[in-house]
Amino acid sequence: MTTQTHDQLLSTIQDALKACGYTGSLEGGNLQTRTPLTGEDLFKIQGTTKEQATEMIAAADEAFKSWRDVPAPRRGNVIKRWGELLTEHKHDLGILVQVEAGKSISEAEGEVQEMIDICDFALGQSRMLYGKTMPSERPGHRLMETWHPIGVVGVISAFNFPVAVYSWNTANALVCGDTVVWKPSEMCALSALGAHALLARAIDDCGEDQNISHLILGDRTVGEVLLDDPRVELVSATGSTRMGREVAPRVASRFGRYLLELGGNNAAIVSPTADLDLALRGIVFAAAGTAGQRCTTMRRLIVHESIADKLVDQIVAAYKTLTIGDPRDESVLVGPLVNQGAFDGMQKSLEAAKEQGGEVLVGGNRVIVDDTEKSFYVEPAVVRMPEQSEIVHNETFAPILYVLTYSDFDEAIALHNAVPQGLSSAIFTQDNSEAELFLSASGSDCGIANVNIGTSGAEIGGAFGGEKETGGGRESGSDAWKTYMRRATNTINYSGELPLAQGVKFL
């Protein structure tokens, strides 16, 4: 286990922030930062007031008026430079992510790599903001569409991916000509300072206006400023379904746009033809990795009854080998839950599962690390359920894997789609017909559907998001850039005549 003292940890954080370019104070503020690694408090930094947040929105709105006219490839240069700085300081920012999100350094640096990857993607996109030309029914006319920036984009991100999701939105929004105001989770303010400082350096290096990017720090009350200010044209919010139910109507009430990435009660179907060794590795990582605190974590396993006992025994055996502890020790695979609330929620769900006929096969117990009661480490749990009971329909943001069985494929699909969430899904099968059906309109109802790979680990090249109570938003790759723009349909008449559409006669 790591032998780093608390003072050494504070020094490590200061060095990482300095390397990223942050020069502000880490003392005397009103926002307490802490680490789930030890449960200890870190620095008290200065939060943002509602008045300051409103001023930042005003500054971003004013900057938009000139930024929208900057040629898109030049806007792309800012993102290119950001990607270069992220590459240079991947380890520095990774340390900050590890400290606040409790990830292994491999996962923390992997999150920063996602930022680098989306910068590469958005840089290319800055030269490909394409519109279409359509045939006109009128002679001497051209019909086309153009895409334009929308304005200020508000980004609200969650603790579990403190910087990656921010970059998905910001890289696309900036190349599209929008400006960004970011409200990260108050649990990850230090990594936010590092990520924002690197972007500020990129903007400065490219000679652009610093007001195209702003960071507001604080609890939900300061974030609510983004929901209600009419100058914020789009609110991209990542969090719980409960949060989405509050965000959507407030933004819609002022006719603003919203992009929601909410709950994900993700499942995998395991067919009798599956490669069980492949399935085992995919399941264990997706269910236990990041201590079950990914939006794409596998929470339900739907296994054919003919192989269920064998596969479940293998999963239980694999769980017993998982190393749990402070992820600064590179031998550790499962780090901490973010706080006591997450631990209490897990215990409540396990009790409910048992009351509803479930059997806890392994895990669920608290693990005390470094003789401290301040942090919350836990054994990932596997629960065999007799049927799709109420608790299985609810997402618990902790490492609980519910196991259900099925007898025919239609039943498996029905079990899979029975929950209200619809983010990520997977099937393990060597039967091509089953794989194709799972990916068809009659199969998985999720925004992400995988074959022979787990529910976690999405690449930035594809659009990320889900259906139903997941919110319907799409961000990151593919054509997600269109979310940050408005479409205009244009008709150009070069005929010298004035024929009306549909053959209408007027004068």
Which residue in the list 111, 114, 208, 261 is annotated as catalytic? 261
- Please tell me the pTM assigned to this model: 0.96
Which helix (H) or strand (E) is 402 found in, with range?
strand 400-406
Residue-level pLDDT at 411: 97
Handedness of CA 312, 313, 316, 321 (dihedral sign): negative
Give start-end residues of each CATH 3.40.309.10 domain in the chain. Answer: 266-460
**Cβ–Cβ < 8 Å for 160, 103:** no
Beta strands (DSSP E) in 111-212 are 133-134, 141-149, 152-156, 179-183
- Angle 401-404-406 (CA atoms, 0-180°, nearest 5)? 150
Task: For 425, list phi and psi in degrees, rounded to 5.
Answer: -155, 165
CB-CB neighbours of 24 under 10 Å? 10
pLDDT at 416: 98
DSSP string, 186-251: GGGHHHHHHHHHHHHHHHHHTT--GGGEEE--SSHHHHHHHHH-TTEEEEEEES-HHHHHHHHHHH
pLDDT tens sequence for the chain (507 residues): 467 899 999 999 999 999 999 999 999 999 999 999 999 999 999 999 999 999 999 999 999 999 999 999 999 999 999 999 999 999 999 999 999 999 999 999 999 999 999 999 999 999 999 999 999 999 999 999 999 999 999 999 999 999 999 999 999 999 999 999 999 999 999 999 999 999 999 999 999 999 999 999 999 999 999 999 999 999 999 999 999 999 999 999 999 999 999 999 999 999 999 999 999 999 999 999 999 999 999 999 999 999 999 999 999 999 999 999 999 999 999 999 999 999 999 999 999 999 999 999 999 999 999 999 999 999 999 999 998 799 999 999 999 999 999 999 999 999 999 999 999 999 999 999 999 999 999 999 999 999 999 999 889 999 999 999 999 999 999 999 999 999 999 999 999 999 999 989 887
Residue 351 known to be catalytic: no
Which pLDDT does position 388 carry in this prediction? 76
Provide the pairing of β-strand 467-468 with 485-493. unpaired
Quote the tokens at residue 408. 């025919």
CATH 3.40.605.10 residue window(s) in the chain? 6-262+471-487
Architecture of the 6-262+471-487 domain: 3-Layer(aba) Sandwich (3.40)
- Which candidate, 28, 32, 37, 155, places its Cα nearest to that of 95? 37
Q: Which residues contact 179 (CB under 8 A, 6 or more apart)?
A: 60, 61, 63, 64, 67, 151, 152, 153, 173, 211, 212, 213, 214
pLDDT at position 145 is 97
CATH top-level class of 266-460: alpha beta
What is the distance between the alpha carbons of residues 254 and 230, in angstroms, rounded to a whole number? 7
pLDDT for 2: 61
- 3 contacts: CB under 8 Å, gap ≥ 6: none
Distance CA 73, CA 351 (A): 55
* Integer angstrom CA distances of residue 476 from 85, 135, 193, 263: 20, 31, 22, 18
Residues sharing a CB contact under 8 Å with residue 278, sequence separation 6 or more, in sequence order: 428, 452
Provide the sign of the torsion angle of the four alpha carbons 163, 165, 166, 171, taken in this order. positive
CB of 416 closer than 8 Å to CB of 302: yes
Q: CA 499: distance to chain centroid?
A: 50
